[in-house]
Amino acid sequence: MEYGTACILHKGTQILLQERLGDSEDIHQNHWVPPGGHTEPGEVSLDCILREFPEETGLTIKNPQFRARVHFNNQGRTLHGEPYAGGKSWTVDFYDALEFEGELKSESPKIRHKWIEQLDLPQYPMHSGDILLLDLLLNPNNANKTYSITIRYDEEALNEFHVSEL
- Convert the pLDDT of each residue in 91-146 to its tens digit: 999 999 999 999 998 777 888 999 999 999 999 999 889 999 999 999 999 999 99
Query: What is the reported pLDDT for 24?
Result: 65
Domain that holds residue 69: 2-165
Please give the pLDDT value at position 21. 86
pLDDT of residue 145: 97
**CATH code: domain of residue 146:** 3.90.79.10
Report the alpha-carbon distance of residue 42 to residue 103 in Å, rounded: 29
Q: Tell me the whole-structure pTM to 2 decimals.
A: 0.93
| Structural domains in the chain (count) | 1
User: At residue 163, does pLDDT exceed 80?
Assistant: yes
Is it the case that residue 36 has pLDDT exceeding 80?
A: yes
User: According to DSSP H, which parts of 22-106 are helical?
Assistant: 45-57
